[in-house]
Chain A
Amino acid sequence: MLDIVGVGSLDELYSDVPEEIRFKKEYDLPEAMSEMEVRRFFEALGNENKRLVCFAGAGVYDHYTPAVVGRIVQRSEFLTSYTPYQAEISQGTLHYIFEYQSMMAELTSMDISNASMYDGSTATAEAMMMAVAAGKKCDTVLVSETVDKKVLTVVKTYAKFHGVNIVMVKENDGITYKADFQEKIAQKGVAGVIVQQPNRYGIVEDYAGYADAAHDNKALMIMNGVAADYAVLKTPAEWGADIAVGDGQSLGVPMMFGGPYVGYMCCTEKLIRKMPGRIVGMTEDSRGQRAFVLTLQAREQHIRRQKATSNICSNQSLMALFVTVYMAVMGKKGVKEAGELSYAGAHYMMDKLVETGHFKPTFQKPFFNEFCVEYDGDVDVLQKKFVDNGFLGGVKMGDHTIMFAVTEQRSKEEIDNLIKLI
C-alpha cells in the first residue's frame, strides 16, 4: 500500500505537517486492556456507584422499559448507520422517525413534530430562538419562574449569546402568577412565553387564558413538559400552545446518569418552516412506492449556513427509536395506564407521608406523579438515612422541602418501606 501511495513509511504520510508541531512523544495514557480487563475495569467502577430505589424526579424519571425496546435498539443496522441522507438504503431509519413524529404529535396533540433534538433543555432553548425568529422585531421571551431551574439556566445561556432578553414571570404559591404574566405579555417586543406543565414543583397548573393573551399580543406560547405525562394530562395543544417541547426520557429511556435522552419539539402546522432540526416527510420513489425522506432541508445549516433556523445537524435518532418502540409496545392503553399508576402511587405516598405526622404538603395544588412536602426535621439527615437503606428519597428543594416522584415502577411495598424509615 505504501508503494502505491509513493511513500516509504507511515511517518512519511505526514511530511506535509511542519516538523515543529509533530507529536513525537508517547501519549500519557493507560496501556491497552484486553476485553476481559476492560469489562473488569468498568465492573469495578460500577461497584463504586450505588443503585437506589428511585423516588427522585425533577426532570428525570425511573420509568419502566419493556424488554423488547432494548432488543430493537441494539439492532446494528439501526445502531451503526449514519443520518439517513441516502434514502434508498435508510428506509428503516426514515420509517421510524416518521412514526416517532406521528406519535409525538399524537401525545402532545400538536400538528407536527420534528425528528427529535438533544434533550428537553436544549429543545426549550431552540423554541425560544424559534419564537424570536418568528416574531417581527421581537427580542424578549417571558419565562415563568415555575420552569425547572436546570432548563432555565440552559435557556438563559442561549439567550445571553443569541441576544434574547429573558424576562421572568413571577410565581405565587407554587404556580405562575397570572396577573404578572398578563402585564408582561402586553409589553412591546415580546415574542413568546415559556411555561412548564407539570411545573418544577410537580404542580399541574391551570393555563386557561394564557394562549389567548399571548396570541392577542402576537406572541407564541411555548409549553415545556414531561412527554409521558401527556398520555393522561391535558395536552399542550389543548392549552393552546404553539410550540410543545420537553424531554422524552419519561418514555422508557434509562436514567443513565443524565443522558442520552431525547428532546421533543412539536408545533402548529403554520410554524413548520420556522422549526429547527430534521424533519422526515412522505414521498414516492421512482418505482411508485411510498417512501420517506429528510425534507424541508432548506431550513438547515448545510444549505443555509449562518441563515439556518438552528445549528443543529443531527437528531437524537437512536433515542427517538427507543421511545418509538416504547410507544408502539405500550400502545394507546399502556402509556395511559403507566401514567395512571404513577398518579395513584404518588397520591398514596403523599397520604402516607402526611399520616406520619412529620410531613405536610408544601402547596395545596393538584399534582400528577411528583409533589413537594415540608418535613419537620432535618432534610439532610433523613435523606442520608434513605440512601443508607437503599432509597433515593426525593430531591431537596429547600431547607425543609423535599420533592418526591413516583412512577409505575414503584410498588406499594417500596413506598411502605420508605415510610417506615421516617
Chain B
Amino acid sequence: MNNKLYGNLIFELSHPGRKGYSLPDNKFGDYEVPAEMRRENDAQLPECDEMTVVRHYTNHSGNNFGVDNGFYPLGSCTMKYNPAINEEIPGMADFRDIHPLQPVDTVKGCLDVCAGLRKALSEIAGLADFTLNPFAGAHGELTGLMVIRRYHESRGDEKRTKVIVPNSAHGTNPASAAVCGLEIVEVKSTADGVVDVDDLRGLLDDTIAAVMMTNPNTLGLFERNIPEIAKLVHECGALMYYDGANLNPMLGACRPGDMGFDVMHINLHKTFSTPHGGGGPGSGPVGVRKGLEQFLPDNEHDSTLSVSPYHGNFGVILKAYTYILSLGKEYIKYVGPLATLNANYIKESLKDVYELPIAGLCKHEFVFNGLADKSTGITTMDVAKRLLDYGYHAPTIYFPLLFHEAMMIEPTESESKVTIDGFIEVMRKIAEEAKNEPELLKSAPHNTPIGRVDDVLAAKHPVVTYKSMLND
C-alpha cells in the first residue's frame, strides 16, 4: 500500500479533445437525434486517453487495503480470502453475455447454477428452499420479513405488527423491520451477553410477528437458550428469523433450521467467500422452512411480489457456488471450527492486555472493551488507527453498543497461525505503546496515505460532487 497519497480526481486530469475510446463509424446513414429530444449541454465528463485512465485508477488502488493486501479482522464482516477461481467463472462469456429475458431453453446452464446453489444452501441451513433474488444482507432481511408478514396475513392474523430484536442486534435489523412496516421491540441481554429469556417471555404476545436474532450473536456468543427461545416464540404464534451475518462459525457445527429458525438470509459475501468489492455487490438469499415456500417473492414461488426483477446478483451467485463446489462436503465442515479456533486463540492470547468483558468460549468473533489498563486514556479508536500503521485493517469498533470501547475481532478460518501470531504480537506492542508513548497512538496513523479525517467538516458542509467542489 502507498504511504503517500495519490490524490487526483479524474476530472483534474482531463484535457479537452483527448480520447480514450474507439467506436465504429456510423454505417446506418443519416439518422440524427432531433434537437427537441436532446439535452441542452453535454454532461461534463472527463476527457482522457486510456493510459491516463489506467494509471489514475491503478494509483488509486494503491491507496486501498483489501484482503489481498493483508489481515482484515473486521468483526461481523467475515473478511475471508476470496479464491481466484471465484473470479474467473463469472468472466466466462457463456455466463457474462446472457440477457436475463432470453428463452428458458437458451439459459439452462444459468438456471442449473441457481438450482444447484439453492439446494446447497438449503442443506447447509437445514431449511426447505431459498430464493436467490435479494441483492444484499439487508435486502434479505427485508425480504424475509415480507415472507413473515405474508405468512401471518395468510392466516388472517393481521394484528402481528411487532418484531422483537435483541439490543445487541445489527442496525439493519430494526431498519429492515421499519421499512417492512413493522414496529421494533427490544429485548434485553443478560450480564453474560445473551438474550434474557425472562425479559423475552414478558414481551411475547399475539402482536408479535417475529423474533429476529443472529446466532452466535454480535458478541460472538452462542445463544445457548435457543431451543427454549424458539419454543416460546412458536407457542405465541410468531416466527423465528435468523440474521445470517454470523453464519460462518456454524458451518459444520449447527444449522439454523435445527435451532428452530423458520426464515433466514445468508450473506454470500461473508460466509461463501464472494469479495466485498468495497461495499458491494453482495447477495442475500432468503431461506424458509417447509410450509413457507409459497411466500418467497420470486417467479418460482409467489410471483405477485418481487424484490428484484430477475435472479438476483447472478455473478455473485456463481462465485458462491464455485466456493461451495471447491470445498465440497469434505471441507465445508471445517470452516466453522477453524474460524472459531482462530477467534478463541486470539482472545485467549490477548485477554491479559485488553479487557474481555465476557469470559468463556466465543464463536467466530469476540469483543474486547478497549485496553485493560484504563489509566492511559487511549481509546479503541486510537488502537484501531495504530493497527493501520502496522499493516493490518482495524477491527469493527464501537459496535455492539453494549460496551463503550467495543472492539470486535473476527479472524476467519482463512488465516494461518503465523499471520495470527503476528497480529497478536502487534496488539501487545500497541498496548505497550499506550503506556509508554501514548502520543504515538493518539496521532496515529502515521504510515498511511492520509492522517485522520475531519468527519465533522464533511457533514457540516457537504461537498459531494466535483462541480460543487469547484464552486466552493
Contact = CB atoms under 8 A, between A and B. Distances in A.
Contact of A295 (B47, B322, B385, B455): B455
A72 B312 CA distance: 24
B43 A231 contact: yes
A161 to B, nearest CB: 5
A29 B123 contact: yes
A256 B98 contact: yes
Interface stretch (B23-31, B197-205, B429-437): B23-31
Interface stretch (B135-143, B233-241, B288-296, B369-377): B135-143
Nearest to A347: B31
A6 B142 CA distance: 40
Contacts of B124: 27, 29
A232 B31 CA distance: 14
Contacts, number: 635
A39 interface: yes
A7 B337 CA distance: 12
Given A305-B175, A334-B21, A257 B107 contact: yes
B63 interface: yes
Contact of B177 (A87, A306, A340): A306
Contact of A318 (B61, B254, B280): B280
A76 B66 contact: yes
Nearest to A163: B181
Given A42-B92, A256-B314, A48 B112 contact: yes
A331 B40 CA distance: 17
Contact of B181 (A1, A161, A334, A341): A161
B28 A412 contact: yes
Interface stretch (A146-154, A178-186, A211-219, A353-361): A146-154
A17 B254 contact: yes
Interface string B97-119: 11111110011111011000000
B19 A259 contact: no
Nearest to B27: A412
Given A106-B467, A233-B39, A286-B443, A33 B325 contact: yes
B155 interface: no
A364 interface: no
Contacts of A284: 453-454, 457
Contacts of B325: 30, 32-33, 38, 41
B39 A238 contact: yes
Contacts of B102: 50, 52, 56, 392
Interface string A3-41: 011110011011111101111001111111101001101
A80 interface: yes
Interface string B322-343: 1011111111111001101110
Interface in B304-356: 304-316, 318, 322, 324-334, 337-338, 340-342, 344-345, 348-349
Contact of B120 (A29, A113, A122, A344): A29
A107 B465 CA distance: 12
B254 A387 contact: no
Contacts of B99: 52, 54, 56, 60, 62, 255, 257, 392
A17 B215 CA distance: 11
Interface in B201-238: 221-222, 224, 226-227
Contacts of B141: 311
A129 B178 CA distance: 11
A300 B174 CA distance: 12
B375 to A, nearest CB: 25
B403 interface: no
A241 B8 CA distance: 32
Contacts of A106: 43-45, 467
Nearest to B126: A23
B226 A21 contact: yes
A390 to B, nearest CB: 10
Contacts of A74: 87
A417 interface: no
Nearest to A10: B337
A18 B258 CA distance: 11
B445 A88 contact: yes
Nearest to A99: B10
Contacts of B126: 23
A227 to B, nearest CB: 11
Contacts of A27: 123-124, 329, 332-333
A389 interface: no
Interface in A274-319: 278-287, 289-291, 293, 295-298, 300-308, 310-319
A112 B334 CA distance: 47
B33 A330 contact: no
B360 interface: yes
Contacts of A272: 462, 464
Contacts of A35: 85, 326
B28 A345 contact: yes
B124 to A, nearest CB: 7
B402 interface: no
Contacts of B44: 106, 332
B179 interface: yes
A74 B214 CA distance: 32
Nearest to A107: B43
A47 B307 CA distance: 29
B421 to A, nearest CB: 10
Contact of A38 (B138, B322, B455): B322
Contacts of B188: none
Nearest to A234: B39
Interface in A53-91: 54, 56, 58-60, 62, 64, 66, 68, 70-72, 74-84, 86-91
A118 B135 contact: yes
A151 B307 CA distance: 9
A260 B224 contact: no
B29 A84 contact: no
B328 A30 contact: yes
Given A88-B451, A313-B138, A26 B108 contact: no
Given A92-B62, A329-B20, A335-B43, A281 B463 contact: yes
29 contacts: A1-B341, A11-B337, A13-B344, A27-B124, A27-B332, A31-B329, A33-B328, A38-B322, A45-B110, A50-B106, A52-B99, A68-B54, A76-B67, A89-B1, A107-B45, A122-B308, A150-B309, A153-B305, A157-B146, A161-B180, A258-B100, A285-B453, A295-B455, A298-B459, A306-B177, A314-B282, A332-B46, A334-B21, A338-B23
Given A45-B110, A83-B279, A348-B28, 16 more contacts: A16-B221, A16-B222, A68-B54, A70-B91, A77-B66, A89-B63, A91-B64, A99-B10, A234-B37, A235-B39, A256-B95, A308-B171, A311-B142, A312-B138, A317-B280, A332-B47
